[in-house]
Structure 1
Amino acid sequence: MTMLEIRKVSVRFGGLTAVDDVSLAVPEGTIMGIIGPNGAGKTTLFNVVAGILRPRTGSVLLGGEDITRLPAHRRARRGLARTFQRLEVFGTLSVRENLLVAAESRRRWDRSTQPAFVADELCAELGLGEVAESLVDTLPTGTQRLVELGRALALRPRLLLLDEASSGLTELETIQVGERLQRLAGQGLTVVLVEHDMPFVLSTCGRVAMLDHGVLVTEGTPDEVRNNPVVQEAYLGRNREAAA
């Protein structure tokens, strides 16, 4: 089953084409990484999928349903959750309270949700048990990033969009997040992430797509993308390194 399908999506800001006729299909249970230089259109495409931006042309399907015209909150009810590059957490609440708030949000449309159980389960799953009662503002950025991931997972999504998920994490935390995402994907969760951390992308994702100037340059396995000469020149910097 294809969980996310992006069909010929284009976005323009005045005379600037930020996303140019991009099509992607992400099967259920897949981790898809989207890479590219700054200004490539990655976050713009993310915002189209999340419902923050309306594309000029094209459509977005979630589990086969056209959600192009649905607002963000209705997409959430259909199983879409996302994180942001800039942390979106409640700093004056504890870790557990942050997760409870998110779980309570899902309870608005799913009365079977047990927020306390969800919060405790996610604290254990993400290794946050020791800081569960700590105020988020007092924690390192990397730990706050894990709290934000937990808030998204508390919505029990079918599709999870992660914007710079490894930002602020230590090397060990990054490895652990990658392993957790792979475990969740093995349970059926579909993940699409925008990342600059190439080792994280290549070791975590089953598929990788590269954008440059709003255009989909290539899409394939990590090895296929890593070895693509266009990717090496435009993003991975092999040619620049050779010239140095």
Structure 2
Amino acid sequence: MILKGTNLKLSFGGLVAVNNVSFEIEEKTIFGIIGPNGAGKTTLFNIISGVYKPQEGKLFFKDKDITNFPTYKRARLGIARTHQIVKPLSELTVIENVMVGACFGKKNYNLKQAQKVALDVINFVGLSTKMFTQAGQLNVAFKKRLELARALANEPEILLLDEVLAGLNPKEVDSMLNVILKIKQNGITIIMIEHLMHAIMKASDYIMVLDSGEKIAQGSPQEISNNQRVIEAYLGDPKLAMQLVGAK
């Protein structure tokens, strides 16, 4: 077990964003998180990465209690993330952006070491033709890859992907999914939030479903796609409900 959350709870004023959520994630798997808008998915990511501290509950990384660890300390342990809204350093080149991830990541590389790591990661995610392009000049698809590359430069054991497929066309989605599956093959545990049902059903080993801050289901993609409560949770968004039913 690489990551475990027990009875996690976080409220903002009178709004309960995450309510008594527990989970266990096996090493070297892809663990998908789905749910309608406002379900608490990104809030849970922020708890895992250390942006927010839960008001109740505990979080364990390899049996170590990291509930009170700040973000940088979790990064040094090997927890990296991407963001739903990509945040490149726009005036820096692609390779400079990725080097930042290596310099301030798990192993705190010097510039020469960071450059080597960055080159390897850039080639891995398919950004070699854009290596010296300013990040601000990239289109959405390449910015998503850059966000992924910068997280990978941390050499994480757990990678949190927050809607990394959002805004991509079908060809770009397939290409990014291939990269994600290769990351898993390299032994990295992936936790991903995604609204594209066919994609997360294809990629995930296990899926947890949140609704209004609560965990309503967890299981294999097949189990989730046949879960009536999960389908009902998506009825407020007919497109997502149809995608979920279609995943059967």
Q: Distance in 1 between matches of 2:37 and 2:188?
A: 28
- The one-letter amino acid of 1:237's match is A
Q: Distance in 1 between matches of 2:154 and 2:106?
A: 9
8 Å CA contact retained: 2:6, 2:58: yes
Q: How many residue pairs are counted as aligned between the two chains?
A: 240
1:237 counterpart residue number: 241
1:86 counterpart residue number: 85
Is 2:123 aligned against 1:142? no
8 Å CA contact retained: 1:103, 1:113: no
1:10 counterpart residue number: 9
Q: Distance in 2 between matches of 1:177 and 1:113?
A: 28
2:155 counterpart residue number: 156
Q: Distance in 2 between matches of 1:200 and 1:176?
A: 11
1:133 counterpart residue number: 132
Identity %: 37
2:24 counterpart residue number: 25
Q: Distance in 2 between matches of 1:34 and 1:224?
A: 14
How well do the aligned residues superpose, as a CA RMSD in angstroms?
2.1
8 Å CA contact retained: 2:35, 2:210: yes
Is 2:120 aligned against 1:121? yes
Q: Distance in 1 between matches of 2:100 and 2:91?
A: 13
- The one-letter amino acid of 2:91's match is T
5+ residue gaps, structure 1: none
Name the stretch that deviates more: 84-93 or 68-77: 84-93
Q: Distance in 1 between matches of 2:35 and 2:106?
A: 37
- Taking structure 1 as the reference length, the TM-score comes to 0.92
5+ residue gaps, structure 2: 235-239
Runs (4+) off by over 4 Å = 110-113
Give deviations 1:112-164, integer Å, cap 9, x for gaps. Answer: 98212111111111111111111111111111010010000000001111111
- Taking structure 2 as the reference length, the TM-score comes to 0.91
Give deviations 1:166-186, integer Å, cap 9, x for gaps. Answer: 122232222122222222212
Name the stretch that deviates more: 106-115 or 154-163: 106-115
